[in-house]
Amino acid sequence: MDFLRLSGTFVLSDAIPWLRWLDLGGHERAMKNVAKELDLVFNGWLEEHKQKRKISGQVKGDDDQLDFMDVMLSILDVDGANEISTDYDADTVNKATTMALIVAGAEAPAVQMTWALALLLNNREALKKAQEELDQIIGKDRQVKESDTKNLVYLQAIIKESARLYPAGPLSLPHESTEDCMVGDYHVPAGTRLLVNLSKLHRDPKVWSDPNEFRPERFLTTHKSFDVKGHDFELIPFGSGRRMCPGMSLALKVIALTLASLLHGFEITTPTDEPVDMGETVGLTNNKATPLEVLFTPRLPAPLYE
């Protein structure tokens, strides 16, 4: 997706603003084109939802009939009254928030799932342990349910460890300081753009023993209390605080249920006996440099796949 690739592209004019008029590499032109295309798509969705509200007269209530954009419309523009304070118009906030949720709730889980499978294929003992846990807790006479995932402690440890080693975004999304402040001994002037190097933070040898090794067991022992929800600053793949990833809850549920279903339902191997390449690409999300090739062989009774 061009949006994700361009979002992670280094643009020289960000560091040397007077070069911007040259548009070296054509990145700014490409970004503007992608922005227009995305705006057309989201505008179409937004207008469709507005028309639906006009026809049905739906504003609040009827929660079962509301999707995300409907809820945003209810919050941002009820009879012309904006319920939150913002410098942007309601349509812009709605489109931007919806796009953030789609990127965080769809792209991020796909990236994280790919890395988790790649790590397991390179660490077959961990893969075997995960399947043994699934067989013990779920059995082989039914499929995994979302309610099962909270009981799969080793699977949850795998998810945490894969997010530690390969966070979906190697850098946090940029934030900007609104006023002068001190962070430790560092003075941060107002208007400073701030990014957190998550990949570096998650491999800090002062916090993690064997930081470059895939060891899910660490989250069952030494780091058992750690979660990925922003409470432990040593592990923040989704960020932390009020402006952390808006799609975190959705992403975690999707990752846990999908990974559990794949490991429970299939024997997972590669076409060759070669280790899976763990090279990374540059972009807003941390994709594998080469596609992951996997063979799935059913391991449950045939009726469960119908």
How many Cα atoms are found within 13 Å in the side-chain-facing hemisphere of 13?
13
Nearest-angstrom CA–CA distance, 150 and 155: 9
Q: Of 104, 167, 123, 139, which Cα lies nearest the Cα of 276?
A: 123
CA torsion angle 278 210 264 140 (round to 10): 160
Residue 245 known to bind ligand: yes
**Environment class of 241 (CB within 10 Å of its CB; exposed 0-12, middle 13-18, buried 19+):** exposed
Q: Which residues are annotated as a binding site?
A: 245
Q: Which residues are annotated as a binding site for heme?
A: 245
